Structure 1
Amino acid sequence: MRKTLLITTLLLSFNGFCQSTQDCEKILKKEINLIPKDTVNLKRFVEDFSLLKNCGLDDGDIEVFSNGPVLGTILVELSSNKESDAKLTFQNLYDKVLQFKESEAYELTKTTILVSNELAKRPANIHNWNQDKILLEKLEVPSVFIDEFHNYLKEHSNPEKTYKQVFADFQEIKKSKKSETKPTEKEYDGIFKNAGNVDYDDLLNESIEFKKPLLLYFTGYASVNARKIEHYVLSDKTITEKLKNEFHFVNLYVDDRISLPENERIKSKTNGEFLKYVGQKHSELQKTKFNSNYQPYFVIIDKNGNIIKEQGYTTDIKIFEEFLTINE
């Protein structure tokens, strides 16, 4: 009896594995055909994408890559790199997803998106603060900011609202207070302005002319961690003043979709494909010049083109202030 039960269990497991393998092969062969503004087609695409769980992705992966900016960036890159008559399939998408999963930034990005999605659904109830605070800490939110929000929540606890809604109210209040004490807000906004299509040698020459080190900030519109470091660190008054006054600070967006002029569409040294967009040019610079492929990424360069310091993602103001301190 036990032997029969064991064999039956093994057969059921094997049949389930075979079914899963067949479903995986089926979805990978399927062509991706998204029509702009076609919500029905988009919904079907997201449903098809979720079937990649049969190919080894977990529920967390599906949730991360179903996030609009992340998936949108991948699809735009795939469609721009494919030949005009080539079909775009879920196999192409799956390969790109696996490549992104192997990057240094993936686990942090995954945690950020999953926790943010959870907070977007969770009621903002002060009685659950001890558990909810753990989620904020997972987002690597500075302790000072958590304490400020906790004090606000004590007076504005509302189980009918989610943390996303209460947090938005909290941000508006902080923003209005900041504008009252900081009349140069427009000047601050400008430090994150996309530099557009710029040349590295020209930027280096400009830094020499300004008699300031060149500080390149490789970022992206779809980078969750870039928005976090801008909000928690770069918006700090001391940091902002240093960036504006002590450096030639330049923002390079690696997902800028502005087309490059024909004479700049050179072949990439990393993948052999021709660069078509400004963002691809910036990404190529980051990979080949600084051997880095994650955002946010900061690098300080002296007048001779030598790297002085590098800094990745952090929400610790003291760490970033130390990065900006250059010993002569």
Structure 2
Amino acid sequence: MATPLLVPALLLLAAAIALVVAGLLQAREANPLVEQRLEQFGARQEFEGEGSAGRASNVLAQQLDRAVQGRSFAERLRTDLARADLRLTVGEYLLIRAASVSIGFLVGFVLGRGPTRPFMGLLMGILVAMLGWLAPQWYVAWRARRRLRAFVNQLGDTITLMANSLRAGYSLLQTIELVSRESPSPMRDEFQRVVREVGFGIPTQEALQHLLRRIPSEDLDLLITAMNIQHEVGGNLAQILDIIGETIRERVRIQGEIRVLTAQQTLSGYIISGLPIALAVFLFILNPDYMASLFTFPWIILPILGFVSMIIGFIMMRRIVSIEV
């Protein structure tokens, strides 16, 4: 009975994969030499709109961009994509999420279908589709956290470089430009954006606030606050930066020690939370009829309560090992 449905399902799967590939191709860099030349003459818009002009060649992506323009969730998505350094428009990102949902539903439907369990395929498809909808969001959040951690780890050395350049007689803008040339990525990328914004007439303080919006870090906030205060009332900025740099380096060192000491507990939380799910999937592959009996009323209450309890336990373990410095 499920054979007539399998052919259109596979066709939909192929279409979904094509959408994913198209979205990923749109996310790739254009010619770096061309972009470098263009950036000499024109700065991009504020980071929320970065990559949106001329890159959404897909008609459907353009229509989605126009449909969600001005919406609050679209602004949040632009911010998240910028923080993750993904050159995607909101429309392209939504297309990728829709494709992942389609693939997840079809995979769950094919794995769960059977002549004796007509609704099991639909249920598994919905569950896997939910994971497909959340997977791109998890990836963007993970990439943003990794980039933020790398930026904070480089911030201490960057502040030392800024302090030394100020002592050598450089102005603040020349110091920022030096950082944009000499620092590794992602520090170099973010300060290059600051230099481009200042070059097109945006005040330095406003450009630094844009930087803080892209990199929501308390350490960076401390640095920018000190620079703004020095701009208003004056003072020895190099000496202030030395103190701030030492504080940030010490904080990064302590955070590293805490991550080492709590690594075992963090890994245990992931293993304990993921082991029941992996075991359930393994048993479902070996004997689908045996596991299908759990998804009938009233026994379906057991996996639901178990899943909710696992989520609560995982959150509690994360809170225990999360130590603020």
TM-score by length of 1: 0.30
Query: Radius of gyration: which is bigger?
Result: 2
Between structures 1 and 2, the one with greater strand share: 1
TM-score by length of 2: 0.30
